[in-house]
Amino acid sequence: MYVYGDSSAVSAWKPILDDLVIKRPDITVFPIEDLIVDNGSTLHVGKEVDIIFARRVIIHQTGRIVSEGNLKLDAKSVQGNVA
């Protein structure tokens, strides 16, 4: 942890402050232009992927996206049940 300015006044508190700081986990981002899941296919996304950024997501009829974790799918357009 870093205290901006002269931190000598709080240097004795460093171990306590460091224990209170919530460590930010790494965030894994997967950018892709077009994500297409064909009919009958399943896209399995592992728990290590947090965000997928895509221009378009197209899921054909019985296609599926299955995530093992908390996934955010951020896309300009999403089309489902496409023949």
Q: Regarding predicted confidence, which is higher, 83 or 16?
A: 16
Mean pLDDT of the region 55-83 = 92
In a domain, 56, yes or no: yes
CA pair distance 80, 73, nearest whole angstrom: 14
CA 66 to chain centroid, in Å, comes to: 14
Domains held by the chain: number: 1
- Going by pLDDT thresholds of 50, 70 and 90, the confidence category of residue 1 is very low
The encoded tokens of residue 21 equal: 């700081």
Looking at residue 4, its pLDDT comes to 56
Note the pTM of the prediction, 2 decimals.
Answer: 0.64
| Residue 75 maps to a domain | yes
Q: Is residue 17 a part of any domain in this protein?
A: no
- Average pLDDT (18-34) is 80
Please give the Cα distance from 23 to 20 (Å, whole number): 9
Percent of the chain whose predicted confidence (pLDDT) is above 90: 57
Look at residue 45 and tell me if it is in a domain. yes
The residues, any chain, with a CB within 8 Å of residue 44's CB and separated by 6 or more, are 66, 68
Q: Which domain holds residue 31?
A: 24-82
Residue 13 maps to a domain? no
Is residue 68 situated within a structural domain? yes
